[in-house]
């Protein structure tokens, strides 16, 4: 945890000793009363928190904001809804790398039961965003959805003229993702990856009709969470040069 994140209503205030963040402050950061540490308000400023006091029930904290983090990269990630454990990894790591939106979508080869997993119904998914943001020393969280079909997720996206649209596919890609990114002149990017079983024929038709080009990361077949990380690394490198 490189940054301790708080909701706006929590600071200044009391943090229960049982809260994992309190344990991190005391046992990992080893802070004592009057010590400071890096903190931030979720979707708000970065700053410095001060541990004012500690007793057997709570920590008393103050917060001094210092600066606003930069906007999230203009990258929208669309992912065929995967197994919950894979989704956890993607939520965390995509947030650490930095994206504006993550839309998990039902596709031709998605297991419909995944959308009813406790990851989504309990709100657990938000915890993985916070873990990713804390790792990155950022306070901004991406917008996340998991209830759309592929077609309904694509409908409200920026037009192809204002945002490059690329989809990874192992079977019908016409060029590499790196080449596609190098040739694109737009600032924003929509990057689509199929579920663990990949895109189906109907999905490819939907993507092509929406202006997506099919690209690949090479001949090796990667796990979905690995492909997301590699693709975002290439995309962030490319968008950072524009």
What is the spatial order of strands in the sheet that 58-67 belongs to? 4-6, 36-41, 46-54, 58-67, 13-16
Same domain? For 57 and 79 the reply is no
- pTM for this model (two decimals): 0.94
Do 213 and 153 fall into the same domain? yes
124 with 235, same domain? yes
Structural domains counted in the chain: 2
List, for residues 114-152, the tens digit of each pLDDT value: 999 999 999 999 999 999 999 999 999 999 999 999 999
Give the CATH number for residue 23. 2.40.240.20
pLDDT at 185: 61
In this structure, the answer to whether residues 52 and 96 fall within a common structural domain is no
Q: Does residue 55 sit in the same domain as residue 143?
A: no
pLDDT at 161: 77
Give the model's pLDDT for residue 81: 98
148 and 194 in a common domain: yes
Whether residues 89 and 54 share a domain: the answer is no
Q: Which domain holds residue 62?
A: 4-67
Segments of the chain with pLDDT less than 50: 241-242
DSSP E strands, the chain = 4-6, 13-16, 36-41, 46-54, 58-67, 75-80, 101-106, 143-149, 163-168, 175-176, 188-193, 213-216
Q: Provide DSSP, 194-210.
A: --TT---HHHHHHHHHT
Among 23, 48, 67, where does a domain finish? 67
Query: Are residues 197 and 153 both part of a single domain?
Result: yes
Give every CB contact of residue 113 below 8 A, 6+ residues apart in sequence: none
Residues 30 and 133 in one domain: no
């Amino acid at each position: 945890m490189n940054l301790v994140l708080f909701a706006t209503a929590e600071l200044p205030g009391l943090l229960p000793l049982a809260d994992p963040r309190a344990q991190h402050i005391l046992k990992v950061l080893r802070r004592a009363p009057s010590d400071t540490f890096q903190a931030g308000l979720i979707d708000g400023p970065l700053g410095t928190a001060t541990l004012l006091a500690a007793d057997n029930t709570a920590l008393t904290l103050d917060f001094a904001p210092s600066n606003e983090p930069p906007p999230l990269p203009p990258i929208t990630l669309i992912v065929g809804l995967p197994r919950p454990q894979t989704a956890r990894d993607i939520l965390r790591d995509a947030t650490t790398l930095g994206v504006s939106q993550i839309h998990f979508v039902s596709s031709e080869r998605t297991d419909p039961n995944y959308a009813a997993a406790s990851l989504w119904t309990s709100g657990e998914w938000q915890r993985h965003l916070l873990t990713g943001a804390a790792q990155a020393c950022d306070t901004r969280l991406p917008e996340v959805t998991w209830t759309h079909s592929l077609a309904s997720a694509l409908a409200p996206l920026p037009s192809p003229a204002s945002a490059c649209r690329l989809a990874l596919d192992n079977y019908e890609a016409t060029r590499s993702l790196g080449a596609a990114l190098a040739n694109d002149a737009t600032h924003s990017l929509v990057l689509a990856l199929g579920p663990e079983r990949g895109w189906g024929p109907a999905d490819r038709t939907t993507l092509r009709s929406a202006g997506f080009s099919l690209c690949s990361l090479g001949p090796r077949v990667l796990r979905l969470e690995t492909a997301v990380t590699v693709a975002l690394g290439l995309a962030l490198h490319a968008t950072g040069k524009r």
